[in-house]
Structure 1
Amino acid sequence: MTYVVTDACVKCKYTDCVDVCPVDCFREGPNFLVIDPDECIDCTLCVAECPVEAIYAEDDVPADMQDYIELNAEMSKIWHAIVEKKDPLPDHETWSTVSGKIGHIER
């Protein structure tokens, strides 16, 4: 099993999770993070660090967010690793409570 970044991260991109990842499995896109399923060691450290609860175990991803499993796998092959915490996106507070953001992901 691996962990998956989901909807709440889109247009927020908090990176608290990156700081605690022991294997650098996070990849960074313009307005979203993903987890490389081939690198993730299922340590669970990132889950508690996400301020918007965007990270789920693959088996626990809500039914309406199942597309994020494939999206994480796909984009982790394209986007570059992020290994240090950065500031969230400028309008993160506006977007942190919005749901259904998959269409807003910039590739």
Structure 2
Amino acid sequence: MTYVVTENCIKCKYMDCVEVCPVDCFYVGANMLVIHPDECIDCGVCEPECPAEAIVPDSDDKATDWVEKNRVYAGEWPNITRKGEPPADAKEWDGKPGKAEMFDPAPGTA
């Protein structure tokens, strides 16, 4: 099992999860984060730290559409080890449905 960042991270990108990760397995995109599944040690400390509740175990039904995206983009985006500033409008986007359409494949800045 591994943990997966899902749709609700899009445009929220709070990054509270990054600083608690003992193995630095988060990678940053333009508008969300992903977890590298081969680096994640399944400790679960990131899950409760996410204010948007966007991190779930890969066995969760919410993870189905996001497992492969996490794998692919963790190989393309830069690694992030420190919490940055979330977008100014993050709270407005938290919990909004249909954010998958807004996924941006561009890398972010670590």
* Alignment TM class, shorter chain as reference: over 0.9
Q: Which runs of 5+ in 1 are unaligned?
A: none
In 2, Cα distance between equivalents of 1:66 and 1:103: 16
Deviation at 1:100? 2.1
Q: Which runs of 5+ in 2 are unaligned?
A: 106-110
In 2, Cα distance between equivalents of 1:56 and 1:6: 7
* TM-score computed with the length of structure 1 as normaliser: 0.94
In 2, Cα distance between equivalents of 1:97 and 1:60: 17
Structure 1 segments (4+ residues) deviating >2 Å: none
Q: Does 1:19 align with 2:32?
A: no
SS in 1 for 2:70: helix
In 1, Cα distance between equivalents of 2:71 and 2:98: 19
In 1, Cα distance between equivalents of 2:76 and 2:40: 16
Aligned residues: 105
In 2, Cα distance between equivalents of 1:26 and 1:105: 17
Counterpart residue number, 1:10: 10
Same amino acid, percent of matched pairs: 50
Q: Which has the higher helix share?
A: 1
